Structure 1
Amino acid sequence: MDMTDATWRKSSRSGSNGGSCVEVADNLPGVVAVRDSKDPSGPVLTFDPQTWTAFVRFAKQH
């Protein structure tokens, strides 16, 4: 999948110490992409928007 137009944003839960950070791009049609901010050219996980929403909802509850 082409990630050229992805607009990445860091998780609000990421610290400012350069540690474990997750970036999300939700501006792509029909997909939400997730990557490790320390490895921006590395692998990207993709989810359909409904699955991503369910994951975030679950994570917020726990």
Structure 2
Amino acid sequence: MDTLRVHWDDGIKVYNCAQDAARVMRQRGWQVSDPGEEGPGLLQRLEATQKWTRVGDGR
């Protein structure tokens, strides 16, 4: 992403990176995770919500 535009009550602010926008959001009282922290991947999130069952012999 090149830029992030946030529409605040006091006007529009353009940020050059997600870290800057997240820092300002936290300063304004929003609960925002650190954009640099790595969370679970898609497969791990899917496995947490679905119980997979293998059907057939895989041929």
RCO greater where, 1 or 2, for CA within 8 Å and sep 6 or more?
1
Report the structure, 1 or 2, having the larger strand content: 1
Give the TM-score, by structure 2 length. Answer: 0.33
Q: Higher helix proportion, which one?
A: 2
Give the TM-score taking structure 1 as reference length: 0.31
